[in-house]
Each structure stands twice: as structure tokens, then as C-alpha cells.
Amino acid sequence: MNFKNKLQKLFLLLLLIIPFNVFAYSEYIIPGGGNIGIEVNSDGIMVVGFYEVNGKNIGKNSGFQVGDRIIKVSGNNVTSIDNMVKLINTTMQNNIVNFTVLRANKKVDINLEVFKDKSGVYKTGLYVKDSITGIGTLTYIDPETKIFGALGHEIIEANSNIKMEIKDGKIFKARITGITKSTEKTTGEKNAKFDDDVTYGTIKENTTSGIYGIYNEVLDKSNLKKVASPNEVKVGDASILTVLEDNNIEEFSINILKINKTGKTKNILFEITDKELLNKTNGVIKGMSGSPIIQGDKIVGAVTHAIVGDNAKGYGIFITTMLKEGED
């Protein structure tokens, strides 16, 4: 037997002996269902709109666009809105302030002439935001890596309808205090009380398939669920895990109507069939995003979107899509 043949046999033998894990994530994960408070900090100060100063739209006319992220004022790095205001007041020259913004990942310099209002305060004509706080549902925690995923969709700034590019963030304790029901024209929502002193984890990413980070609390591994592949998801009975009152996670029945394996989101079309859930919410509501979808004792996906006007129906994302995104 020559040396090459020996190596080939040895390689085949090693493949038989050494287990090969095709999953970048754990095969069994901890299902969520509990509500979380969410706070994310923008990577730069986000321009979300404009207002007139002395009858002129000075911000827009100077070249700013909604979605611009202010990263520098007069060459100084900006860390917060308060910091930006201070830099504007201390670095302007003849009422001109130089801004550096990120637009489509390219740096753009803008000179803005600021004006005093009637109260003597300098105005930029820019509506800006440096953080967003809201409520969502935890989808899963990987028991091996402690990576968590939530929401099943990106965090969007409401006024501009643009995805927020984040620097960091956190998830923290939230308690459901009431439900605003959906109507024919509006999507209902969970009402919550936040306790941001009780932090559960840190957010690292805001993506089209959810938010991801590291969970800091001690893990309960007593109720692990096996991860279902997209091919295992079937039309028919399933359930979701979510909270309607306080911190009580409950399981409610749904019916999966259609499966879309081609898209990255909106993979699962479902309808709520649980009478108790429909009675309390009138359908899919805000704050339910991220609620795990369970079928056949496996976790198959997460709730992502409501359908306005057809409130009992909603969309979900495959759990494998979230897991792959979280592990990247």
C-alpha cells in the first residue's frame, strides 16, 4: 500500500470517528416568548426630519437628507445629541457649522448656517435622534454561546421609516400592563412598564431578520426545543409563545396557511385560531414580534408582521434564518 492510499484510508477513518456538526448554532435552543424592553443607540446622530427656522428650511436646503448620520461637528467626534449641541455652540464661526455625515457608508461634509430663534437659542432646522426605546419579544437563546435573537425584523426609526444603524444597545425587564386591541384600520399593541435597571443582555446587531446580542443572565435549560429546518415546517396546526399579562408566557394556537421558502423574511403565513388570544387582542399586535412559533415540539420560526385589515393573520420568519444571522 503506497503512502497516498494510507492517507486516504486514515482520512476516511477519522471521518467515521470524529462527529461532524453541520450546525453553526446549537441543534437545541431555549425558546423565548417573554417580553423585553429594548434600547438601541445610533451609530452617529440620525437625521429624521426637518423644521423651518425663521420661515426657511435651512437644514434641507443646506444638503442634509433624512437618514444621514452625523458623526462629526467641526472635526470633533459626536457621541450624543447633548454633545452635538455643545459642539455647535462652541465651534461655529460666523454662524457657520461644519458637519460630517455618513450617507450610504460614504462621508459627506455639509456647512450649515444656524440661526437664533426668538428665545436666543441657535437652531439647526434638523430633527435628530440618537436612540430608540421600545418593546418586543425574545425569540431564543443559544444555550452554548448565550447568543440571543429577538423581534424577527429590524428596528426602524418611526418618523423616517429607515433602519437605524446601531452602535450598541441592551435588552431589559418589561412587564405587560394592558392590551390595546387591533381594529379594522389599526394594529393593536402591548402596553408595558419598563425596568431598565434589570438588564438581561447587550445588543450587538440590528438586521433585517432581528436584533442579536449576548444574554447575561443565568440560563434555564430545562425546556430546550429542537430547531426545525425550513423543510420540516408544514401547513397546519402550530402555536406561538407570548405574553399578554405581566410576565406570564402562554401558548396560543395558530394555523400555518402558507410557507415561502424563497424569501429571507415573511416565510410563514399564519392565522390565529386561539379564541382567548383573539378575544384579548383581536389579532396580531405590536410587541408580539419575535414570539416563537412552535410546531410538533420543535421551534420553527418567529412572529414578525401583522396584516392590517386582516388582523387574525400575520407573518413569521424561519428560525434557521435568525440563528444563522445571529451566529455570523
Known catalytic residues are 153, 274, 289
Task: Return phi, psi of residue 187, to 5°.
Answer: -95, 130
- Grid cell for residue 151: 423581534
- Grid cell for residue 3: 503512502
CA proximity to 212, closest of 202, 220, 221, 222? 202
Contacts of residues 252-257 at CB distance under 8 Å and 24 or more positions apart, as own/partner, are 252/276, 252/277, 254/293, 256/293, 256/295, 257/313
Type and span of the H or E element at 37 = strand 35-50
The Cα 172–Cα 62 span in angstroms is 39
Beta strands in 216-307 (DSSP E): 225-227, 236-243, 249-259, 268-272, 292-295, 298-306
The Cα 105–Cα 80 span in angstroms is 20
The Cα 170–Cα 44 span in angstroms is 17
* Residue with the three cell numbers 434589570: 198
